[in-house]
Amino acid sequence: MTAAEWQIAAFTVEMAVLSTALILPPGLALAWCLARFRWRGKTLVETFVAMPLVLPPVVTGLVLLKLFGRRGPLGHWLYSEFHFDVVFTWRAVTLALAVMSFPLLVWTARSAIEEVNPALERIARTLGAGEWRVFFTITLPLAKRGLLVGALLAFARALGEFGATILVAGNIPGVTTTLSTDIYQLIQLGEDSHAWTLAGISLSLAFAALWSSVWLMRRKKH
């Protein structure tokens, strides 16, 4: 493996870790709200969150491009307030990976939280615990395996993201190129042997992430 290939692999992993870390807090909060409460507009929120699962990734990418471009509503605000660009930078890569893997995290985390017996949370309240304490001492520890599985699935999904990334972040060598966008480009250029090396790395990473989540899920049942 060449230094450039290492750089791309490391960058991809770094972006996937970062995006997973970013979506964890809001993902858990949303999963908890979906699992434990009934509220107005819940169905609508559930549908929106799940959209990236079924939309063509390029459509998600296009929406993000329009929102975060310098002329888009969010992009314009970010540039004028904080003077930074999102589109075609590493931030766009994180953004695309985060949006694309968010539904997997929320869905898995939601069912993990739903599996925690609500009677335990109720008893904790009668023992004087407030909502934060109930969440961190009862709900979270009892759901932790399921939550970890959710995080691993989100990470695995982020590793392979292509459609949304290429639209919103492009394929700028050394800046936004990830394993999947580079593989695509190498095949276009006819450099199949290079492409195969990167494909091998992709395969090993995806295998490791999925294998651990499957292993965790099986442990959870015992």
Binding mask 75-114 for other proteins (x = CB under 8 A): ----------------------------------------
Q: Which of 10, 120, 172, 214 binds other proteins (CB under 8 A)?
A: 120
Q: At what angle do helices 42-54 and 3-36 cross, to 10 degrees?
A: 160
Both tokens assigned to 33: 């709200």
Our finding on whether 221 is near other proteins (CB under 8 A) is no
Closer to other proteins by Cβ: residue 7 or 117: 117
Our finding on whether 56 is near other proteins (CB under 8 A) is no
Burial of 177 (0-12, 13-18, 19+ CB in 10 A): buried
From CA 89, how far away is CA 75, in angstroms rounded? Answer: 12
- Binding segment (CB under 8 A) for other proteins, from list 49-57, 89-97, 119-127, 182-190: 119-127
Number of residues in contact with other proteins under rule CB under 8 A: 16
- Binding segment (CB under 8 A) for other proteins, from list 3-11, 37-45, 130-138, 152-160: 130-138
From CA 64, how far away is CA 163, in angstroms rounded? Answer: 12
Q: Which of 25, 130, 174, 190 binds other proteins (CB under 8 A)?
A: 130
- Binding segment (CB under 8 A) for other proteins, from list 31-39, 127-135, 168-176, 190-198: 127-135
Angle at 55 between CA 52 and CA 57, to 5 degrees: 75
Q: Which of 2, 43, 47, 126 binds other proteins (CB under 8 A)?
A: 126
Our finding on whether 122 is near other proteins (CB under 8 A) is yes
- What residue spans of the chain are helical by DSSP H? 3-36, 42-54, 57-68, 73-82, 90-114, 118-126, 131-134, 140-159, 163-168, 179-188, 192-221
Q: Which of 56, 117, 200, 215 binds other proteins (CB under 8 A)?
A: 117
- Binding segment (CB under 8 A) for other proteins, from list 3-11, 78-86, 100-108, 133-141: 133-141
DSSP labels, 73-111 = HHHHHHHHHH----TTSHHHHHHHHHHHHHHHHHHHHHH
Count how many Cα atoms sit within 13 Å of the Cα of residue 220 in the half-sphere of its side chain: 19
Q: Which of 1, 56, 84, 137 binds other proteins (CB under 8 A)?
A: 137
Residues numbered 158 to 197 that lie near other proteins (CB under 8 A) are none
Binding residues for other proteins, per CB under 8 A?
117, 119-120, 122-130, 137-138, 141-142
